[in-house]
């Protein structure tokens, strides 16, 4: 009996992997393109070559001008063929080649002929190609044909003309706007696609006229739109009008009835679009939400995955702002946890975690445990963040949620996923006191086999701050010292610091800590040895005189008030001498602005001109410059120097910017000037400052600039006295005054006589933020607690109408000029409340911490609670005054 032939698996794989375009090269295809010139055209062969050319173009292959033009000329000969398939390929290749080839105009006569053809396919494609390659001159010639095509009986031709109109609107808007009547007629077409394209074009024509858009929506919502695609567009335009019009005086929302009626449409896409539009309305009420939620709930049990995904994603967003409105859907969403599509399952879980009640948490955790191993890390991170939010919402359930987090922490996963879990456990420990001891043990077990150095050091740092405050600190020592034995140098150094913190806070552990630190003196890494030596010396483990407990705690737990980059620079510049290095000499503000600005296009540098020297901070250079000027030497050390503020536009004759130097009772304006005219020399250059709008300031000194040659930056100064300890603000008008002398270009010598001239500069403002240094803290919570409540002041403010919380946060940060901490300057999307933490150093070197709590009240109304702690109650009051007056 004959056996049936069976293909080998290898053969089948080869067949599946084969591509007709495999291995094709541009040179070979260009050779093949000569087939277009054959006297007897082979339509099939020509179509294949065009297909290859299109493939190369879409793969990003670059054709030279000559190659593109040559192919283009060859293709134009194919218009003589009557083969419909080949003609379609010709239209496609002309559209693709037109930007690269010269003389595309030669095909316009053939295309215009096709545009009036009796074959609808020719007409539609010719219109698309003509509009792609045409310019304004030709467009006016064919405008009449395009208008007729828009109202053509054939929907393919009409759609082609409308889509071309959408593209042409970008380049020739005035011509397209003249087609409004024809487009309006096309909106009433019975063809679904024509109605869709016509509505899109009509809206684009009117989009800059809010009243016209509102009239369009009003007329079409009465029921003349039948196409589901067009209906979806209309819903989007309606949402736009609702957003811009707000709520009427009667409290009703215009067009809401239309959106609700669309929920009963027979097309699923229209129903979903309407439901989504309702959920995204500004300040949507529970009554308005209910019908949309009901429809989305029906979609959750649909047999179509796309509908289930759309519904659960929308409900997930709604759950952020209206969790109670979504709770009715919880049973349906629980069934989606086992959905084959993992995206749907992830969204279902995170939505349930946002909307679930306390009694359903344990059941949810069991379902999620089985699910976590099947999804990618990015989905796992979403679930972890949702669990963190749930735990903060129901703190009594911390045990089951913390156990879940610790279990998944021990499973396989990438860095971002593990970091998300560790961050969540840390936040739960900080916010739920009962979770501290269990959470710290979970973290200790994790670092026993943690492969990420960054996470190990972060956990050890956190353990050093929180571990000594627990009921039995000794149980963590084993985990910490294991790191010294088993890990790399970075983790070992971090573990030494953590051991020292336990020794400083727990007297009963101090002898054991000394023993362990002495073992670290023989480590192979120098930083580990240095840290061990330092901490033994600080804690008194080497028999030396020990500092007081307060000094030790400040050293180990206090925040470093100076930026590391500044400290590094100062240490590099320090020369060993009898005088010890003083950390108080390190500048406390990081300057991102370099001393001599980089040249902007067409603009001369206007910063300080300094010879190449060893790297040094901008602050140091400013300080040296000011101390070298006798008029300002008595003012002391500047508290702060601002970034340069431009006082002239780009491309002007003279480029001037100003740096504000703030002293305890003075302010010095340093005007950096550059002469950008080669034929001129400026002498006796000064800035005349009018302080009539800054009454608390009085001018006390000025230092003019003797000479300002072409392209050589120079400085002139003006100093003002101001009330000490008061954040005086005001506006200063500036006029550049100088004597201008003509320069002979051939010899470079200036004339003896000059002419006095003036040049008006922009106004300059001194604001409250100028009296604040941006100084960060490593641990805001510890710093906040260490300042205590003695100098705390709390008040609430209405910030008025704003676009959102992000705008409010940025406005207050800008007003105060403080450093955001722990990434709190970023507001999560769709959040209706947010807490922002700021730190800084107020003039007089007073440490200030600010906690801002924002919330959205009415429509666009933002309220803020401001809590300030500082080392001086008058400074806390001053911060509130700045906000109240700002």
| Confidence (pLDDT) at 212 | 87
Helix (H, G, I), strand (E, B) or coil at 837: strand
3-state helix, strand, coil in the chain (%, to 5): 55, 15, 30
Rounded to a whole number of angstroms, the CA Rg of the chain reads 37
- For residue 329, give both structure tokens: 């859907």
What distance in Å separates the CA atoms of residue 169 and residue 205, rounded to the nearest whole number? 8
What distance in Å separates the CA atoms of residue 122 and residue 120, rounded to the nearest whole number? 5
Helix (H, G, I), strand (E, B) or coil at 842: strand
Residue 13 has pLDDT above 60, yes or no: no
According to DSSP, the residues that pair with 657 across neighbouring strands are: 646, 672
Q: Sorting pLDDT into bands at 50, 70 and 90, what band is 568?
A: confident
SS (H, E, C) 60-76: CCCCCHHHHHHHHHHHH
pLDDT in tens, 640-654: 888 888 898 877 888
What distance in Å separates the CA atoms of residue 672 and residue 675, rounded to the nearest whole number? 10
pLDDT in tens, 830-843: 677 788 999 998 88
What distance in Å separates the CA atoms of residue 53 and residue 71, rounded to the nearest whole number? 9
Mean pLDDT on 184-190: 89
What are the CA-CA distances from residue 249 to residues 245, 246, 253 (Å)? 11, 10, 9
CB within 8 Å of 579: residues ≥ 6 apart: none
- For residue 67, give both structure tokens: 């190659």
pLDDT in tens, 63-99: 888 888 888 888 888 888 888 888 889 888 888 877 5
Quickly count: other Cβ atoms within 10 Å of residue 752's Cβ.
6
Helix (H, G, I), strand (E, B) or coil at 735: strand
| 321 vs 92, more confident | 92
What distance in Å separates the CA atoms of residue 186 and residue 241, rounded to the nearest whole number? 23
| Confidence (pLDDT) at 718 | 93
Q: Sorting pLDDT into bands at 50, 70 and 90, what band is 251?
A: low
pLDDT in tens, 304-317: 999 999 999 999 88
The structure tokens 């509130």 sit at 880
Strands (E) across 602-664 are located at 640-641, 645-646, 654-662
| Confidence (pLDDT) at 401 | 80
Quickly count: other Cβ atoms within 10 Å of residue 204's Cβ.
17
What distance in Å separates the CA atoms of residue 33 and residue 47, rounded to the nearest whole number? 10
CB within 8 Å of 379: residues ≥ 6 apart: 342, 343, 346
Residue 688 has pLDDT above 60, yes or no: yes
Please spell the DSSP secondary structure of 651-702, one letter per residue: T-SEEEEEEEEE-SSEEEEEEEEEE--TTEEEEEEEEEEEEEE-TT-EEEEE
What distance in Å separates the CA atoms of residue 392 and residue 874, rounded to the nearest whole number? 36
The whole model's pTM is what? Answer: 0.53
CB-count exposure of residue 111 (10 Å: 0-12, 13-18, 19+): buried
Percent above pLDDT 70 for the chain: 88
What distance in Å separates the CA atoms of residue 602 and residue 762, rounded to the nearest whole number? 19
| Confidence (pLDDT) at 669 | 93
What are the CA-CA distances from residue 475 to residues 463, 479, 482, 626, 789 (Å)? 12, 8, 12, 56, 33
- Specify whether the CB–CB gap between 407 and 758 falls below 8 A: no
The structure tokens 């979903």 sit at 272
Mean pLDDT of the chain: 82
- Specify whether the CB–CB gap between 708 and 675 falls below 8 A: yes
- Specify whether the CB–CB gap between 852 and 836 falls below 8 A: yes
- Specify whether the CB–CB gap between 108 and 138 falls below 8 A: yes
| Confidence (pLDDT) at 460 | 93
CB-count exposure of residue 877 (10 Å: 0-12, 13-18, 19+): middle
What's the full length of the chain, in residues? 886
Q: Which helix (H) or strand (E) holds 864?
A: strand 861-870
| Confidence (pLDDT) at 636 | 81
- For residue 455, give both structure tokens: 């996470």
Mean pLDDT on 647-676: 88
Q: Are strands 764-766 and 705-708 parallel, antiparallel or unpaired?
A: unpaired
CB within 8 Å of 738: residues ≥ 6 apart: 682, 683, 684, 685, 686, 708, 756, 757, 758, 759
Q: Which helix (H) or strand (E) holds 411?
A: none
Q: Sorting pLDDT into bands at 50, 70 and 90, what band is 546?
A: low
- Specify whether the CB–CB gap between 882 and 816 falls below 8 A: yes
Q: Residue 108: which of 94, 88, 87 has the closest Cα? A: 94
| Confidence (pLDDT) at 311 | 93
Helix (H, G, I), strand (E, B) or coil at 731: strand
What distance in Å separates the CA atoms of residue 687 and residue 702, rounded to the nearest whole number? 9
CB within 8 Å of 276: residues ≥ 6 apart: 292, 310, 314
The structure tokens 């109605």 sit at 195
Residue 759 has pLDDT above 70, yes or no: yes
- Specify whether the CB–CB gap between 46 and 86 falls below 8 A: yes
| Confidence (pLDDT) at 638 | 85
Mean pLDDT on 352-375: 72
| Confidence (pLDDT) at 598 | 34
- Specify whether the CB–CB gap between 535 and 500 falls below 8 A: yes
CB within 8 Å of 234: residues ≥ 6 apart: 199, 217, 220, 221, 225
Q: Sorting pLDDT into bands at 50, 70 and 90, what band is 597?
A: very low
Quickly count: other Cβ atoms within 10 Å of residue 51's Cβ.
16
| Confidence (pLDDT) at 543 | 53
Mean pLDDT on 568-585: 80
Please spell the DSSP secondary structure of 3-15, one letter per residue: PPP---HHHHHHH
| Confidence (pLDDT) at 322 | 83
Q: Residue 687: which of 667, 709, 704 has the closest Cα? A: 704
- Specify whether the CB–CB gap between 851 and 835 falls below 8 A: yes
Q: Sorting pLDDT into bands at 50, 70 and 90, what band is 17?
A: low
The structure tokens 């991170």 sit at 381
- For residue 239, give both structure tokens: 């949402």
| Confidence (pLDDT) at 229 | 92
- For residue 734, give both structure tokens: 């500036």
pLDDT in tens, 205-223: 888 888 888 888 888 888 7
What distance in Å separates the CA atoms of residue 671 and residue 762, rounded to the nearest whole number? 12
How many angstroms from the chain centroid is the CA of residue 785?
Answer: 32
What distance in Å separates the CA atoms of residue 199 and residue 201, rounded to the nearest whole number? 5
| Confidence (pLDDT) at 5 | 41
Q: Which of 34-43, 531-540, 551-560 has the lowest mean pLDDT?
A: 551-560
Quickly count: other Cβ atoms within 10 Å of residue 602's Cβ.
8
What distance in Å separates the CA atoms of residue 263 and residue 67, rounded to the nearest whole number? 55
Q: Which helix (H) or strand (E) holds 795?
A: strand 792-801
Phi, psi of 344 (to 5 degrees): -65, -45
Phi, psi of 696 (to 5 degrees): -80, -5
The sign of the CA dihedral 650, 652, 655, 657 is negative
What are the CA-CA distances from residue 94 to residues 17, 91, 97, 115, 546 (Å)? 31, 5, 5, 15, 86
- Specify whether the CB–CB gap between 71 and 30 falls below 8 A: yes
Q: Residue 349: which of 404, 395, 403 has the closest Cα? A: 404
Provide the total of helices (H) and of strands (E) in the chain, helices listed first: 38, 17
| Confidence (pLDDT) at 270 | 93
What distance in Å separates the CA atoms of residue 154 and residue 362, rounded to the nearest whole number? 62
Mean pLDDT on 556-583: 77
Q: Which of 135-139, 615-619, 692-696 has the lowest mean pLDDT?
A: 615-619
What distance in Å separates the CA atoms of residue 123 and residue 152, rounded to the nearest whole number? 11
């Amino acid at each position: 009996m004959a056996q049936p032939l069976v293909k080998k698996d290898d053969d089948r794989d080869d067949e599946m992997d084969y591509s007709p375009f495999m291995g094709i090269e541009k040179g070979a295809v260009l050779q093949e393109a000569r087939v277009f010139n054959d006297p007897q055209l082979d339509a099939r062969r020509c179509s294949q070559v065009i297909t290859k050319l299109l493939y190369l173009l879409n793969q990003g292959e670059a054709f030279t001008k000559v190659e593109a033009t040559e192919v283009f000329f060859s293709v134009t000969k194919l218009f003589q063929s009557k083969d419909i398939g080949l003609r379609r390929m010709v239209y496609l290749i002309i559209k693709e080649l037109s930007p690269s080839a010269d003389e595309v105009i030669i095909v316009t006569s053939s295309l215009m002929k096709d545009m009036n053809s009796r074959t609808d396919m020719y007409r539609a494609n010719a219109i698309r190609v003509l509009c792609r390659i045409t310019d304004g001159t030709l467009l006016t010639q064919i405008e009449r044909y395009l208008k007729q095509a828009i109202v053509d009986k054939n929907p393919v031709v009409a759609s082609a003309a409308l889509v071309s109109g959408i593209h042409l609107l970008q380049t020739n808007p005035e011509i397209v706007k003249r087609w409004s009547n024809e487009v309006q007629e096309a909106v009433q077409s019975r063809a679904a696609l024509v109605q869709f394209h016509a509505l899109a074009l009509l809206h684009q024509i009117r989009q800059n006229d809010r009243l016209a858009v509102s009239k369009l929506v009003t007329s079409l919502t009465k029921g003349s739109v039948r196409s589901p695609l067009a209906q979806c567009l209309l819903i989007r335009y309606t949402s736009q009008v609702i957003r811009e019009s707000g709520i009427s005086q009667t409290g009703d929302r215009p067009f809401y009835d239309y959106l609700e009626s669309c929920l009963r449409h027979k097309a699923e896409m229209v129903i979903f679009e309407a439901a989504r539009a309702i959920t995204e309305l500004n300040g949507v009420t529970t009554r308005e939400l209910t019908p949309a939620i009901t429809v989305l709930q029906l979609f959750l049990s649909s047999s179509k995955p796309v509908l289930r995904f759309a519904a659960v994603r929308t409900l997930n967003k709604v759950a952020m702002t209206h969790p109670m409105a979504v709770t009715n859907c919880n049973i349906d969403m629980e069934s989606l946890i086992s959905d084959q599509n993992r995206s749907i399952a992830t969204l279902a879980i995170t939505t349930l975690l946002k909307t679930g009640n306390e009694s359903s948490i344990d059941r949810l955790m069991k379902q999620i445990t089985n699910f976590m191993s099947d999804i990618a890390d990015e989905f796992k991170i979403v679930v972890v963040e949702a669990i963190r939010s749930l735990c903060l919402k129901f703190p009594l359930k911390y045990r089951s949620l913390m156990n879940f987090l610790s279990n998944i922490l021990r499973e396989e996963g990438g860095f971002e996923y593990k970091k998300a879990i560790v961050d969540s456990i840390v936040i739960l420990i900080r916010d739920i006191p009962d979770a501290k001891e269990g959470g710290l043990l979970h973290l200790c077990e994790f670092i026993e086999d943690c492969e990420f150095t960054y996470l190990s050091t972060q956990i050890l740092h956190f353990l050093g701050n929180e571990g000594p405050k627990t009921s039995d600190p000794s149980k963590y020592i084993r985990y910490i010292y294991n790191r010294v034995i088993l890990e790399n140098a970075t983790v070992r150094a971090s573990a030494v610091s953590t051991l020292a913190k336990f020794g400083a806070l727990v007297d009963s552990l101090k002898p054991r800590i000394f023993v362990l630190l002495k073992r670290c003196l023989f480590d192979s890494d120098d930083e580990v040895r240095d840290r061990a030596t330092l901490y033994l010396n600080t804690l008194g483990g080497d028999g030396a005189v020990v500092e007081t407990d307060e000094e030790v705690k400040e050293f180990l737990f206090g925040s470093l008030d100076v930026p590391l980059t500044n400290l590094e620079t100062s240490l590099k510049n320090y020369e060993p001498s009898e005088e010890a290095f003083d950390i108080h000499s390190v500048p406390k503000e990081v300057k991102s602005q370099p001393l001599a600005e980089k040249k902007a296009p067409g603009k001369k540098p206007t910063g300080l001109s300094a010879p190449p020297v060893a790297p040094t901070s901008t602050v140091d250079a400013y300080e040296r410059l000011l101390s070298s000027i006798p008029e300002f030497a008595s003012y002391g050390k500047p508290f702060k120097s601002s970034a340069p503020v431009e006082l002239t536009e780009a491309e002007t004759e003279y480029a001037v910017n100003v740096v504000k130097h703030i002293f305890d009772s003075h302010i010095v304006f340093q005007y950096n000037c550059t002469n950008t005219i080669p034929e001129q020399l400026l002498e006796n250059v000064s800035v005349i400052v009018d302080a009539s709008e800054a009454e608390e300031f009085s001018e006390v000194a000025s230092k003019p600039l003797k000479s300002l040659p072409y392209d050589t930056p120079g400085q002139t100064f003006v100093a003002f006295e101001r009330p000490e300890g008061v954040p005086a603000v005001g506006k200063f008008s500036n006029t550049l005054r100088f004597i201008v002398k003509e320069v002979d270009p051939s010899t470079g010598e200036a004339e003896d006589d000059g002419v006095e001239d003036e040049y008006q500069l922009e106004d300059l403002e001194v604001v409250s933020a100028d009296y604040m240094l941006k100084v960060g803290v490593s641990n805001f919570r510890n710093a906040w607690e260490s300042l205590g409540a003695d100098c705390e002041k709390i008040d609430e403010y209405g910030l008025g109408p704003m676009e959102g919380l992000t705008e409010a946060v940025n406005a207050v940060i800008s007003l105060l000029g403080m450093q955001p901490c722990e990434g709190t300057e970023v507001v999560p999307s769709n959040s209706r409340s947010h807490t922002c933490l700021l730190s800084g150093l107020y003039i007089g070197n007073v440490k200030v911490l600010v906690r801002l709590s924002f919330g959205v009240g009415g429509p666009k109304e933002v309220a803020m609670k401001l809590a300030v702690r500082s080392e001086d109650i008058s400074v806390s009051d001053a911060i509130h005054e700045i906000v109240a007056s700002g």
